[in-house]
Structure formats: structure tokens, C-alpha cells
Amino acid sequence: MKTKIRVTLITDEEEKFYGPGVQELLAGIREHGSVKEACAAMELSYSKGRRILKHAETVLGFALVIRQQGGASGGAANLTPEAEDFMARYQQLTEAVSQYTRDQMQEIYGDMCHCSRQ
């Protein structure tokens, strides 16, 4: 038996703005160098992907993606240094929350089952 934790960041008004999906989208942009290709890889519409990014950028108050317009060679997108830093901190937070949850699971249910510590 084990738990699965999903960390979602919300505003003071309880509005979701960052979670595993946004993290995956940004990782896809880093990998593909394109918002459009990252969205396609996630089977997410380009327009929805752009809305998600814009909303997160508005809440955070800084740009996550630097976009270069297309042309003959096509456009490109790269993550900002702030996006890279934010992603690393989000990963750090999710790992800490997961570890805490595994520890609590073992402490609370350890005598009843073989709880996974992975």
C-alpha cells in the first residue's frame, strides 16, 4: 500500500495556477524548443497551452517562456531562468511532500501493512 500525492499551487483566492501539468508543459517546451510541439506531445490544444502559460505568468509576475516569432526557419521557445528556477523548486517541494507522506504512512499504518517507502 502506498499513497499518491499531487502538489498544486494556488493563489490566496484558491485559484489553481501551477501543478504537475504546467510542470510537464514547461519540461516539454525545454525538450522540444516549441510551445506548439510541447502541447502536441501532451495532446493538449495549443490555445489551451498558451492560456495555461499566460495564467501562470500572470499569477507569478514573471515570464516563463521566451518566444521567437516564426518565419522561414520557424519559431522557437525557451524557458526563462526564472522558469528553470521555479521548476526546480517545485520539484524539490513535491519530493519533500512525497517523502513526508511516505514517512507518515509508515508511522500511521506500518503495524497494519507493508507500506512502501519508495
Residue at 30 is within a domain: yes
Residue at 115 is within a domain: no
Number of domains in the chain: 1
pLDDT of residue 115: 60
pTM of the model: 0.87
Residue at 118 is within a domain: no
pLDDT in tens, 64-89: 999 887 655 667 999 999 999 999 99
Higher pLDDT, 113 or 24: 24
Q: Could you tell me the CATH number of the domain that includes residue 42? A: 1.10.10.10
Distance CA 115, CA 50 (A): 40
Distance CA 56, CA 17 (A): 5
Residue at 34 is within a domain: yes
Domain of residue 47 covers: 9-109
